[in-house]
Structure 1
């Protein structure tokens, strides 16, 4: 994930808001049942240690649009809500992918799978427990994120706007994730490239970029025109970010990707990169190489060479460049303050620098 350079006060404010939410959840859970208390503790660990980019984006938009933190007690709680939403999606994602670890340590599902085994469950039962815990944990955190926004110390109009942004972020992200899974499991000639691009945009762009930016603008009392500009920018930047992520998933080093080289090829993910390769005359050769990619590093490198030879990699890089240029044009055509424009253009540069 790209980063913003938040001040120590900003990071402290975000962390304190998140800690307060988990403290409340923990106290309530402890009074109910030891298992649900363990679930909240696992969630808190899942939310810890991240870069907290999305809440930082809320604060950055707020500050550069002239918001005063000392006059907006809702800023950090609302920013925290977007981190909770992100964590909820990550927890659910791990269930969808049947993953039991994240960043090398057990995730929520992994913790509860181990908990089940330790208490005498058979492996299948322990797996069921782990995945049920992941689903319930994500549900709980998503509710807590929306509750945090609903109780924010803002006027009625701002609250309605924030809830609408949150609602859109959830619905669009669900649509993107569902389409992504459908594309992965339905056999045939492969999904339409435009459909894959739409799913790619929906999975990330709204909840990670446009909604946090717009939320910060709403809290700062920015105009409708400013919010619309941030929405257009966020959708474009979010798409470019995900396209770069797909390039990293296919070609990035383990250090950049945070997992094995060519992880997306090993897992046979249907990304825009693969859709572009399907359109090339070299697709039969690419398809054969991809079919063997799961067998190991040598086959993954062969698939990487086949994708590059088909022109898919260069076309994907061109699409990233085109999308980022479109994001720059949104900024140039807007009437946003100079500080906001600088922050947005820095984000564009940060995404460009991630291209492997």
Structure 2
């Protein structure tokens, strides 16, 4: 999607922020130094989807990096925002491992136990470290935009995008937790709304619009991109839900069927509840945590309920709408190609 040189420039921008965070920690205690090292590890090695979208949208609207020296720092801000959300999400989900290794909370639990803390104390320190790490990353993302070498008008527009991304994502995360803990099942519409809000704006709409804004795109083009970015983000998250239930361990980055083991209230499950065979699905999900055989039984029950096919159809319809809307004359040809390419790549992830 972007040249290797662009990816290198994005990585260097992110690394510059991480160096600044580490440098600020030197005189603030060994614990804080350890925290900033953990932040660097949490940020390393990602796919860089969101900053890539900033750079790709900028290029699609004819932007020249030589005329916009802050392109890569703005792009990096969206990666730091993403990492902040991931770190906080792990605290919310009580997860101490990510992709097979301890996350920030997990690292600080180990640190606490090595220094004599009991299990409860280690958990308190682990959660505190992760929350503070996420706060640092949110601050650094805002700082990158505040210091961007752009006009006041563009900076204000970037902050509007960041503001919307944070508020909408926070609302989606809270709704997702509420849907999970309440004794009554949430309506399918509420679950789909939470799914959209958690991911679509900060992962697709905001980065795409940020790149367009930096490139000088007209308001009508940015508005069209915001709508299609939201659809792409929804489709992306719905595919993630399928991966969480049916994807391989390599695709999911954890044990196969992880969402089923955790009985998450995803759109897939919401659709299954509307089927005549919901009682069988519900019974299978109740024991899915017990092992691979039970996971496979839950997968079969979901297949037979029609929920998997229904969700796949919704994804296909959403991506079809995106490809159709990409013909909007408000969008340059290169931008239309980018939108269609993103739709194709999302479709390729479907398990």
Query: If the length of structure 1 is used for normalisation, what is the TM-score?
Result: 0.97
CA deviation after TM superposition for structure 1 residue 329, in Å: 2.1
Structure 1 CA distance, aligned partners of 2:102 and 2:291? 24
Q: Tell whether 2:36 aligns with 1:40.
A: yes
Residue 187 of structure 1 aligns with which residue? 183
Structure 2 CA distance, aligned partners of 1:218 and 1:306? 47
- State the Cα deviation string for residues 144-188 of structure 1 (Å, max 9, x = none): 101110111111000000000000000000111111111111112
CA deviation after TM superposition for structure 1 residue 334, in Å: 3.9
Structure 1 CA distance, aligned partners of 2:20 and 2:256? 41
CA deviation after TM superposition for structure 1 residue 333, in Å: 2.3
Residue 8 of structure 1 aligns with which residue? 4
Q: Tell whether 2:246 aligns with 1:251.
A: yes
Residue 47 of structure 2 aligns with which residue? 51
Q: Which moved more, 1:25-34 or 1:194-203?
A: 25-34
Structure 1 CA distance, aligned partners of 2:219 and 2:275? 43
Partner-residue secondary structure (3-state), 1:332: coil
CA deviation after TM superposition for structure 1 residue 320, in Å: 0.5
Q: Tell whether 2:303 aligns with 1:304.
A: no
CA contact (8 A) 2:100 2:254 kept: no
CA deviation after TM superposition for structure 1 residue 19, in Å: 1.3
Q: Tell whether 2:345 aligns with 1:315.
A: no
Residue 73 of structure 1 aligns with which residue? 69
Residue 287 of structure 1 aligns with which residue? 282
- State the Cα deviation string for residues 5-36 of structure 1 (Å, max 9, x = none): 32121011111111111111111111222211
Structure 2 CA distance, aligned partners of 1:26 and 1:309? 52
CA deviation after TM superposition for structure 1 residue 107, in Å: 1.1
Structure 1 CA distance, aligned partners of 2:24 and 2:293? 52
Structure 2 CA distance, aligned partners of 1:95 and 1:268? 18
Unaligned runs of 5+ in 1: none
Q: How many residues align?
A: 351
Q: CA RMSD in A?
A: 1.0
CA contact (8 A) 1:173 1:206 kept: yes
Q: How does 1:150-229 map to 2 (within 5 A)?
A: 150-188=146-184, 190-229=185-224
- State the Cα deviation string for residues 239-281 of structure 1 (Å, max 9, x = none): 0111111011111121222211111010000001111111111
- State the Cα deviation string for residues 195-251 of structure 1 (Å, max 9, x = none): 100001111100000000000011001000111111011100100111111011111
CA deviation after TM superposition for structure 1 residue 293, in Å: 1.0
Q: Which moved more, 1:53-62 or 1:330-339?
A: 330-339
- State the Cα deviation string for residues 127-153 of structure 1 (Å, max 9, x = none): 110011000100111011011101111
The 1:181/1:225 distance shift into structure 2, 3 A limit, reads: same
Structure 1 CA distance, aligned partners of 2:259 and 2:329? 37
Residue 149 of structure 1 aligns with which residue? 145
Q: Tell whether 2:23 aligns with 1:27.
A: yes
